Amino acid sequence: MKKEEQLLIKRFHDLANTAYRRGITTYSDFLNINEISSLHAIEKDLSFVKIVLDGGYSQAERQIAAFVPDAFLPITKDFPLSILKIEPANAKFADRLNHRDYLGAILNLGIDRCKIGDILVKEESAFLFAHSSMEDFLCGELTRIKHTTVKIVPCEEPEEIVPSLAHIEGSISSERVDAVLSLAFRASRSSISQLVPAEKVYINGKLCCSNSQTLKSRDVVSVRGYGKFIYQGVLSTTKKGRLFVALDKYT
């Protein structure tokens, strides 16, 4: 185990022990998919507390972990999480901004990546999920992205926030993860099969260790460097025994 992972696991234990001893809910910073997988791997060791994850919207990739004493119920609204809407001050003169543009401008302010969650980019705006301690700083300091002057306002309507999905259907030989990945990312099965041994594939936040693992309907699959999708399952079976399946890919 690498030293970085050892320190992370120690941090999880410290947060859980503090929650249990003091009877309070403790929170991590935003965790990436690798860190969430590490947390899932030690959940049995932390069974004396409840662990709740939230990233501000359904299917968020970067999430904050809450360590909740058994005597307490998790209250999502208490997560130290702010939802900020970023939009151009003048849409007429705005650049077409992408995820990298938004993230680069935010990190250039000196903010640690662990204080920033997902960024959902829309046509002319973006929703930023950030640690609540960063809200005032971001609203005051993030005024320009590339050549575009922007304004930031806290979002009080989280129901507005819906990720963009592309619906994909196709024929595969089985529900093995490598077969579904090949369909999702339009790549050959031989090339896509290298992703699992490289520890780049996660199913429902947990590291996938075998290409032969089968997917179930509503499994969320994340692949580092490729993207994320929700596997919707088998729609029908062809006469030759192939499966016609569907998935929704995040765009």
DSSP assignment string, 12-36? HHHHHHHHHHHT--EEEEEE-HHHH
Q: State how far the Cα of 246 lies from the Cα of 237, in Å rounded to an integer.
A: 12
CA-nearest of 63, 59, 2, 58 to 27 is 63
Non-local CB neighbours of 6 within 8 Å, separated by 6+ positions: none
**pLDDT band for position 76 (50/70/90)?**
low
Q: Give every strand in the sheet of 201-203, ordered side by side.
A: 165-172, 243-250, 227-237, 220-223, 201-203, 206-207
Q: Please compute the mean of the pLDDT values over residues 70-76 and round it to a whole number.
A: 58
Q: Please compute the mean of the pLDDT values over residues 55-80 and round it to a whole number.
A: 80
Q: What is the pTM of this model?
A: 0.79
pLDDT per position as a tens digit, 133-162: 999 999 999 999 999 999 999 987 655 577
With beta carbons less than 8 A apart as the criterion, state whether 150 and 142 touch.
yes
Q: What sign does the CA torsion over 212, 184, 55, 138 have? A: positive
Q: Please compute the mean of the pLDDT values over residues 116-137 and round it to a whole number.
A: 93
pLDDT per position as a tens digit, 172-231: 999 999 999 999 999 998 889 999 999 999 998 888 999 999 999 999 999 988 989 999
Rounded CA Rg of the chain: 20
Given a cut of 80, whether residue 79 has pLDDT beyond it is: yes
Chain-wide mean pLDDT for the chain?
Answer: 90
Residue 95 per-residue DSSP state: -
**pLDDT band for position 93 (50/70/90)?**
confident
Q: Please compute the mean of the pLDDT values over residues 45-54 and round it to a whole number.
A: 93
**pLDDT at residue 239, rounded to an integer:** 86
End-to-end CA distance of the chain: 34
**pLDDT band for position 71 (50/70/90)?**
low
With beta carbons less than 8 A apart as the criterion, state whether 196 and 211 touch.
yes
**pLDDT at residue 157, rounded to an integer:** 61
Given a cut of 80, whether residue 23 has pLDDT beyond it is: yes
**pLDDT band for position 74 (50/70/90)?**
low
CB-hemisphere CA count at 13 Å for 77?
2
Given a cut of 70, whether residue 75 has pLDDT beyond it is: no
With beta carbons less than 8 A apart as the criterion, state whether 231 and 217 touch.
yes
Q: Which domains does the chain have, with CATH numbers?
A: 3-75 (3.30.1370.160), 81-160 (3.30.70.330), 165-250 (3.10.290.10)
Query: In this structure, what token pair is assigned to residue 137?
Result: 């700083």
**pLDDT band for position 36 (50/70/90)?**
very high
